[in-house]
Structure 1
Amino acid sequence: MSIAITSLNSAVERLLVVEANRPGSVHRLARSETLAGGKGVNVARVLTQLRAGGDETYAPVPAPRLVGFSGGPTGRLFEDLLGAEGLDSALVPTAGGTRVCEVLVDLSDPAGATVYNASGPKVTEPELGALESMFGSVLENSDALVCTGSIPPGVPSDQYARWITQARGKGVLSVLDAHSEVLAQGAAALPDIVKVNREELLSLGAGDPDARAMDWLDAGIRCVIVTDGGRPARAYTAGAEYEVRAPEIPVRSAVGSGDAFCAGLVRSLLGAPKAGWAAHLRLAAACGASNAAGVTAGLTGSHSPATLLSRVTVSESPLRPARRSATRTDDTRG
């Protein structure tokens, strides 16, 4: 079995670190690194690190498996980089080359990292058909599906929505973390969990973003989590609302912290399904904070989730009766 994670817009990521960014100036890099990138890869990396941690609080969970595309010389490099990290994948070859993205981390302002994301190669109909066939076989052997990250040109905006519907039909846990129309259509397919940041909610149009989150909950989504940068996250479930405060840590780069949050959440849901939402959210926040303590996306040894767990504050309050009565009552999975 595996945890299927989308990597439809795979990337080779170039990390550039400077002591202080001065636009228009020549810089000497304090550090540079080439990594496999993209939100799906970040989630898979953290899940792999958590599995290697051997925390006896959680039952063993399946290894992550990335599903998506890879093409050209940059695609070969992307696959080599995945292999170097021991990350499993099922990738369809494309005529277009895998994109290259850049992350510029300014050590004088680590919370304000600059990210340059390419759009990715245009996917052809035959390539998309091959992906559909591959996904079906991967889902058959998966305990969870994480739909995350952008989609390249040529992939329909309802791609995640259709996969979430398939996962629900097979009783497979599904998590959505996307933006724009992909987020809107994916949420309409009723995944178990939507993890979204406040900026992404605001991008969907007029209206109170928290009200939109509650509407999704009313429609049947088990949990809607709204992160908000360094501010407390909020989570809405059928039974309660939660405010999640991550511990204060020395931030080196916040890039990938939302993906680490997602990985910790999935780890807890699968490894301790009866622990309850407060426990699931606590591990998620600890993973997000651990990621922010390092320059590259992933957990940091100096601020491991295990050492941060007790410093995460999760406050629970009853969901308003009008909302509680409108949501599903068959939620028995944590």
Structure 2
Amino acid sequence: MNIAITSLNSAVERLLAVEANRPGSVHRLTRSETLAGGKGVNVARVLAQLAAGGHGTSTPVPAPRLLDFSGGPTGRLFEDLLGAEGLDSALVPTAGGTRVCEVLVDLSDPAGATVYNASGPQVTEPELDALESTFGHVLENSDALVCTGSIPPGVPSDQYARWITQARDRGVLSVLDAHGEVLARGAAALPDVVKVNREELLSLGPGDPGARALEWLDSGIRCVIVTDGGGPARAYTAGVAYEVRAPEVPVRSAVGSGDAFCAGLVRSLLGAPEAGWAAHLRLAAACGASNAAGVTAGLTETHSPAALLSRVTVSESALRPARRSDTRTDGTRG
């Protein structure tokens, strides 16, 4: 079995690090790497690292499998980069080339990395048909579905929503991390978990993010998690609200920390389903902090989740219950 990760706009990612970024100047790079990138790849990478052991999470869980597009010379490079990391994938060919994105890390201000994201290739109807067929095969062999990241031109905004509905019909755990219309329509399909950052939530329009989270909770979503950069994350479940404070680490790049949080959450939900939301959130926050301590997306050995876990603070407060009677607070299905 697998953890299906649908992330339809992954990229070849160029990581550039400089001692200090001075616009209009010539810089000498202190580090330069080419990696498979995108939110889904980041989630898969952390899940694979957790599965490999050494991070205090020895309970076995299914391996991640990435469902994505791949096209052109950059697509071939993307596939090679995935293979070099041992990341399993089911890739649908596209005529358009896989996008290339850049991440500029200013080591004098690592929390403020600059990210340049391309839009992605135009996807055609035959390519969408092939995607649907591939998704059906992947979902049949999956214990969880993670829908994350942006979508390229030509992919309908309800793509994740329809897949979440299929996952629910099969009893497969589903997690959504998106933005804009894709987030709104995906949340309306009632995934088990919505994990967003505050900026993504505000992209849906003015209003209190906490109130919108409660609306989603009342509609039937089991847990809504709102991360806020270096600030505490807030999670809402039936009857309980959580404030999650990650431990302080020497930040080298915050890029990918939200994805590492998502991976840790899924890892805990599948590996220890009866542990309860506080435990799930604790591992998620430890993974997010571990990611921030490295320049590239992924867990760091010097600040591993196992070492950080005891330093995560999770506090609870009462919350009015959601309306649905089958919602539990331990992450399992009712």
- TM interval, short-chain normalised: over 0.9
Distance 2:298 2:230 in 1: 17
Distance 2:196 2:79 in 1: 28
Q: In structure 2, what is the equivalent of residue 25 of structure 1?
A: 25
User: Aligned residues, how many?
Assistant: 331
Runs of at least 4 residues of structure 1 off by over 3 A?
54-58, 327-330
Q: Provide the alpha-carbon RMSD of the alignment.
A: 1.1
- What is the Cα deviation at residue 6 of structure 1? 1.2
Match of 1:329 among 310, 326, 329: 326
**Matched letter for residue 270 of structure 1:** L
Distance 2:237 2:79 in 1: 38
Q: In structure 1, what is the equivalent of residue 235 of structure 2?
A: 235
Counterparts in 2 of 1:94 and 1:176: CA distance versus 1, 3 Å: same
SS in 1 for 2:52: helix
Task: Give the stretch that moved more between structures: 140-149 or 198-207.
Answer: 198-207
Distance 1:166 1:57 in 2: 29
**Contact 1:58/1:268 (8 A) holds in 2:** no
Counterparts in 2 of 1:279 and 1:326: CA distance versus 1, 3 Å: same
- What is the Cα deviation at residue 83 of structure 1? 0.1
Counterparts in 2 of 1:325 and 1:285: CA distance versus 1, 3 Å: closer
**Contact 2:107/2:252 (8 A) holds in 1:** yes
Q: In structure 2, what is the equivalent of residue 141 of structure 1?
A: 141
Deviations 1:16-49, CA, capped at 9 Å, x for gaps: 0000000000000000000000000000000000
- What is the Cα deviation at residue 235 of structure 1? 0.1
- What is the Cα deviation at residue 209 of structure 1? 1.2
Q: In structure 2, what is the equivalent of residue 255 of structure 1?
A: 255
Q: In structure 1, what is the equivalent of residue 68 of structure 2?
A: 68
**Matched letter for residue 23 of structure 2:** P
**Matched letter for residue 83 of structure 1:** G
2:190 is the alignment partner of 1:193: no
**Matched letter for residue 108 of structure 2:** S
- What is the Cα deviation at residue 155 of structure 1? 0.1
**Contact 1:285/1:312 (8 A) holds in 2:** yes
Counterparts in 2 of 1:325 and 1:202: CA distance versus 1, 3 Å: closer
Distance 2:226 2:331 in 1: 20
**Matched letter for residue 318 of structure 1:** A
Deviations 1:75-120, CA, capped at 9 Å, x for gaps: 0000000000000000010000000000000000000000000000
Q: In structure 2, what is the equivalent of residue 43 of structure 1?
A: 43
SS in 2 for 1:242: strand
Give TM-score, length-normalised by structure 1. 0.97
- What is the Cα deviation at residue 333 of structure 1? 4.0
Distance 2:117 2:194 in 1: 23
**Contact 1:220/1:328 (8 A) holds in 2:** no
Q: Equivalent pairs: percent with the same residue?
A: 86
Deviations 1:111-131, CA, capped at 9 Å, x for gaps: 000000000000000000000
**Matched letter for residue 254 of structure 2:** A
**Matched letter for residue 274 of structure 2:** K
Q: In structure 2, what is the equivalent of residue 303 of structure 1?
A: 303
SS in 2 for 1:53: coil
Distance 2:272 2:260 in 1: 18
Distance 2:294 2:255 in 1: 9
The runs of 5 or more residues in structure 1 that have no matched partner are none
- What is the Cα deviation at residue 56 of structure 1? 6.7
2:165 is the alignment partner of 1:171: no
Counterparts in 2 of 1:152 and 1:209: CA distance versus 1, 3 Å: same
SS in 2 for 1:102: strand
The runs of 5 or more residues in structure 2 that have no matched partner are none
**Matched letter for residue 207 of structure 2:** G
Deviations 1:262-285, CA, capped at 9 Å, x for gaps: 000000000000000000000000
Q: In structure 2, what is the equivalent of residue 117 of structure 1?
A: 117
SS in 2 for 1:16: strand
SS in 2 for 1:303: coil
Distance 1:58 1:185 in 2: 36
**Contact 1:238/1:328 (8 A) holds in 2:** no
Deviations 1:43-72, CA, capped at 9 Å, x for gaps: 000000000015675521011000010000
2:8 is the alignment partner of 1:11: no
- What is the Cα deviation at residue 206 of structure 1? 2.0
Give TM-score, length-normalised by structure 2. 0.97
Q: In structure 1, what is the equivalent of residue 283 of structure 2?
A: 283
Counterparts in 2 of 1:231 and 1:6: CA distance versus 1, 3 Å: same
Deviations 1:128-169, CA, capped at 9 Å, x for gaps: 000000000100000000000000000000000000000000
SS in 1 for 2:253: coil
**Matched letter for residue 30 of structure 2:** A
